[in-house]
Structure 1
Amino acid sequence: MGEIRLVGTAHVSEKSVAEVRAAIEEFQPGIVGVELDPGRYNALRHEQAPPKVEDVLKAGNFSQLLFQWTLAYLQRKIGMDVGVEPGAEMVAAIEEVEGRGLPLALIDRDIRITLARFWEGMSLWEKVKMVYALALSVGGVEGDEIDIDALTRQDVVSAALDEFRKFSPNGARALIDERDAYLARRILDLSGRYDRVMAVIGAGHVRGVERYLSSPELLPPEADLVARPKSYPWGTIVGGAFIAMFAFLIISLAFSGVGFEVLGWAILYWVLINGVLAAVFTLAAGGHPLSAATAFAVAWLTSLNPLMAAGWFAAAVEAKVRKPSASDFQRIMDAEDFSQMRKVPIFRVVLVAALANVGSTLGTIAYFAFISPILGIDPTVIIPMGFSNFIGWLGGLFSF
């Protein structure tokens, strides 16, 4: 096995850029591995073609896309604050390797797999906390000043990772632990073919990678690290539950004897509460009035079909109005603040889709929470009575 040198960096540190160049000069590696996958490598080298707008809209993973863009924005914002482009230390390593005619290895897991495992692996509560924390960060809530160079000191890194594990244990597993193992596997593979291997990785991975390098028997099977996460259809399950509740409520009211007027109001409020909240959230996203009207018009129906979402229809109308183009993706990356990002058509479309869905979901929850006092009925009396009458009606219908 070849000799291995790990260089831990902070992705927005000028000091890390210098350390990478110095380490290559001093260690004289036979190959350099960098914490990149082909997609991020091409993006750093500006060799990656932007995705097609149609493909982004068809994929429908609007929440994950917003999360990815927001994380990229926050990292870039920190970089701008300290005058260093995010990933500059990786670019420095690549340029140094190319200048010396050395081979370069991309040793990180595909970012699409990492983000998928990160998002799907988190509990609902972890996702809520993550979205809230990102909203505060994007909103410009001030905190303690960040010492970028301190981010490469292992004691500081360990403390930060410990806090992240408390905040989101499942997220930490996908972003840190699994990638520690993946990086270690790639580095060990390189050391079997080269005498001197240098790996440029984030400081947060150094301790975990070192542990696996010293005890390779602890490495999990590679298939477990690259498999797409099992996705349970929670949206379909929850949506189906709401449909069953709505049907149960309407049937109970219909057979309770409260009259068709109360039944009609119950149905009308379903349309209004779902539609109004979906439209309001669409407008809050900066959506066009036509998009908000579309969200209002379809929310009552999409809430009764777990395979449909109000945001999809609102996004389709928003895309027709805003006319996003492939150049929008680069404009998102170049935006200096969140207000600039919101002006980019494709970002506006995705934001409209995500928030319209949130509004529709909240509308469904609000309906069941407030429909009884709105209608002035006692559900503990009306629903059992109506359901009992319905069962009796069924019994009479099928009796011979």
Structure 2
Amino acid sequence: MGEIRIVGTAHVSQASVDEVREAIRDYKPDVVAIELDQGRYAALKKQVHDPSVNEVLEAKNFTQLLVQWVLAYLQRRIGMDMGVEPGAEMKAAIEESEATGTPLALVDRDIRVTLHRFWRSLSFFEKIKMFYALAASVATVDGQEIDVEELKQQDMISVAMEEFRKFSPNGAHALIDERDAYLAYNLDRLRQGHEKVLAVMGAGHVQGVERYLAAPDTIPPLEGLVQDVKTRRWGLIFGVIVTALFVFLLATIAFSGVGLEVLGMALVYWVLIHGVLTAAFTLLARGHPLSAATGFAVSWLTALNPLIAAGWFAAIVEAKIRKPAPSDFRKIFEAESFSAMMKIPLFRVVMVAALANLGSTIGTIAYFFFIFPVLGIDPATVISQGLANMWLAITGLFGQA
């Protein structure tokens, strides 16, 4: 069994770049293993194929895509402050391995699998906390002074990992623990056929990977680290509950005897609350007025159908108007400020989709909280009387039969 030397890096550190180059030259490994998958490797080598805009719209994973872009922006923003391109140490490892003729191994999990498992593993409240943290980070990152080399110290890494686990235990498992196991699995295989393996990875993974390598039998099966996460489809469940509640509400109002005018106003407010909030959030994303109008027009209906969303329709209209191009993907990952990202058509389309959906969801919650006070009726009286009258109507119908 061969020897593994691990170089823990900070992804936006010039010192890490120098350390990686020096380690490859001094250690003279048989293979250099780097914390990249094929997709990120191709991106660093400028060999990536940008998907078409239609593929983005058809995938409908707008929120996940937005989170990925914002996280990438935050890392790039810190790298700009440090004068180092994010991923420069991985690029240095690639260049040095090519210069010395040393074989290169990509040992990280596919980023698409990681992001998918990360997103699916988060609870509803963890997603809310994450959005808040991302918004706060974007708002403050320009004014922060960050000592990247200090962040590489193991005690600082441990503190950061523990804080992340408190913030999002499920997310930490998908982003850190699972990848520790995946990296260790591939490194263990490499040392079976090579005497000297040099592994380059983020400092946050070093402790977990070393623990697995010290006891390879504790590495979980690879299949469990790449398969789809089986979770309940909370969005579908929420949509079904909303539809059932709305139908129940209208039925009780209709049978309560408060009058058709109240029933009509309940329908009008359903349309107005969803439409106004969806349109407002679309405009908040700097969407075109036509996109906001589209969201207004369809939100009342999409809120009753768990299989469609108002943001999808608003995004389609926004795409027709903004005409994003495949090159927008690269522009997003090269933007030097959040305001610059907002000027890129594709980013605007995704923002419109995500925020329009958020506005529609808030509209649903607001409707059920405020509809009875707005209509000026007592919910307990209306519901009890409505149910009683429905029961009388049902029993009378069966009695006649």
**TM class, shorter-chain normalised?**
over 0.9
CA deviation vs aligned residue, 1:284-334 (integer Å, no higher than 9, x gap): 000000000000000000011111100011001001100010111111111
Q: What is the Cα deviation at residue 151 of structure 1? A: 2.1
* Structure 1 CA distance for aligned equivalents of residues 26 and 76 of structure 2: 30
* Structure 2 CA distance for aligned equivalents of residues 159 and 214 of structure 1: 23
Unaligned runs of 5+ in 2: none
Q: Does residue 364 of the first structure (1) align with residue 364 of the second (2)?
A: yes
Aligned partner of 2:210 in structure 1 is 210
* Structure 1 CA distance for aligned equivalents of residues 242 and 384 of structure 2: 18
SS in 2 for 1:105: strand
Counterpart AA for 1:302: T
* Structure 2 CA distance for aligned equivalents of residues 391 and 149 of structure 1: 71
* Structure 2 CA distance for aligned equivalents of residues 165 and 231 of structure 1: 20
* Structure 2 CA distance for aligned equivalents of residues 34 and 172 of structure 1: 21
Aligned partner of 2:297 in structure 1 is 297
* Structure 2 CA distance for aligned equivalents of residues 328 and 41 of structure 1: 20
Q: What is the Cα deviation at residue 144 of structure 1? A: 5.4
Aligned partner of 2:384 in structure 1 is 384
* Structure 1 CA distance for aligned equivalents of residues 167 and 231 of structure 2: 22
Aligned CA RMSD, in angstroms, stands at 1.0
Q: 1:163-174 residue pairs with structure 2 within 5 A?
A: 163-174=163-174
Q: What is the Cα deviation at residue 141 of structure 1? A: 5.8
* Structure 2 CA distance for aligned equivalents of residues 240 and 283 of structure 1: 28
Q: What is the Cα deviation at residue 232 of structure 1? A: 2.1
Aligned partner of 2:320 in structure 1 is 320
Q: What is the Cα deviation at residue 145 of structure 1? A: 2.3
Counterpart AA for 1:297: A
* Structure 1 CA distance for aligned equivalents of residues 218 and 369 of structure 2: 50
8 Å Cα contact 2:74/2:141 also seen in 1 = no
Identity in percent:
63
Q: What is the Cα deviation at residue 142 of structure 1? A: 6.6
Q: Does residue 2 of the first structure (1) align with residue 23 of the second (2)?
A: no
Q: Give the length in aligned residue pairs.
A: 400
SS in 2 for 1:6: strand
Aligned partner of 2:197 in structure 1 is 197
TM-score by length of 2: 0.98
CA deviation vs aligned residue, 1:44-70 (integer Å, no higher than 9, x gap): 111001111110110001100000000
Q: 1:270-285 residue pairs with structure 2 within 5 A?
A: 270-285=270-285
* Structure 2 CA distance for aligned equivalents of residues 144 and 155 of structure 1: 21
* Structure 2 CA distance for aligned equivalents of residues 318 and 390 of structure 1: 45
Aligned partner of 1:346 in structure 2 is 346
SS in 1 for 2:256: coil
- The range that moved more, 283-292 or 217-226, is 217-226
* Structure 2 CA distance for aligned equivalents of residues 142 and 49 of structure 1: 31
8 Å Cα contact 2:77/2:141 also seen in 1 = no
Counterpart AA for 2:238: V
* Structure 2 CA distance for aligned equivalents of residues 175 and 141 of structure 1: 22
* Structure 2 CA distance for aligned equivalents of residues 247 and 284 of structure 1: 31
Q: Does residue 146 of the first structure (1) align with residue 146 of the second (2)?
A: yes
Q: 1:122-271 residue pairs with structure 2 within 5 A?
A: 122-140=122-140, 145-271=145-271
Counterpart AA for 2:4: I
* Structure 1 CA distance for aligned equivalents of residues 78 and 110 of structure 2: 24
TM-score by length of 1: 0.98
Counterpart AA for 1:372: F
Counterpart AA for 1:310: A
8 Å Cα contact 2:315/2:353 also seen in 1 = yes
Counterpart AA for 2:380: T
* Structure 1 CA distance for aligned equivalents of residues 289 and 317 of structure 2: 10
Q: What is the Cα deviation at residue 160 of structure 1? A: 1.1
Q: 1:6-17 residue pairs with structure 2 within 5 A?
A: 6-17=6-17
CA deviation vs aligned residue, 1:198-256 (integer Å, no higher than 9, x gap): 10011000010000011111111111111121142111111110111111110001011
- Runs of 4+ that moved beyond 6 A: none
Aligned partner of 2:107 in structure 1 is 107
Q: Does residue 43 of the first structure (1) align with residue 43 of the second (2)?
A: yes
